Amino acid sequence: MTAEGNDKSSEEPGFTFSDKRRVDPNTGEVRPEADAQSAPDGAGEEPTADPNAEQAEAADASDLGVDIPADVSGLEDSEPAAEPEPGSEAAGYLADLKRINAEYAAYRMRADRERERAALGGTIKVVEALIPVLDEVKLARENGDVTGPFETHVNKLVESLNKIGVEQYGEVGDEFDPNIHEALMQQPSDEVENPTLFLVMQPGYRIGERIIRAARVGVQQPQD
């Protein structure tokens, strides 16, 4: 029985111990096996080449059916697209586009004219409101009453009107023009060869060719 028991014990697998401590307890040094185990997977290995990348480098535009010349310095800009054939759908779209552009250009021109006309109308209304004051200023100047600070303010008023294009006209000796002058009196004279202003009762005001108020004058007519 004893011999048989000993045979059974010898057949059982023995107990083994693996020391996985990183530091050797005898020497106090780090074991090289521990460094290898702590290293990340793939560290220190040569990177493997991607076969797909090599194929991409080897591929060129010929794979797409396009030939790229080695020297592109002589290439010129592409020619503009040809006009669509008359009667085609593209030709109809192009005609509509041209018509819309023409209509927009005409609309923009009309809008600009209307804006200028509105601005001019506003200026004319302001000048018409100031005309009685300007007439009083003219009389005051003729009487020598425009002096000192009052003269300074009058000059600033006239300069402001000139800046917005308002012009005062009508001087003695000017040739009479029925388009811009209103003759309130006439008298014959042998000193003039053409109808001439000898008196300006109220000066005229205009903006460019637009008459705000015609000058009211006395006219000398040449004798027959």
Q: What percent of the chain has pLDDT over 90?
A: 36
Q: What is the pTM of this model?
A: 0.52
Q: State how far the Cα of 176 lies from the Cα of 123, in Å rounded to an integer.
A: 27
Bridge partners, residue 188, by sequence: 221
- Residue 41 φ then ψ, to 5°: -60, 130
| 4-48 per-position pLDDT tens digit | 444 544 455 555 556 666 767 677 676 665 555 554 454 445 555
Per-residue pLDDT, averaged over 104-120, amounts to 91
CA distances from 139 to 129, 135, 157, 184, 205 (A): 17, 6, 16, 18, 16
Within 10 angstroms of residue 213's Cβ, the number of other Cβ atoms is: 20
More confident residue, 141 or 218: 218
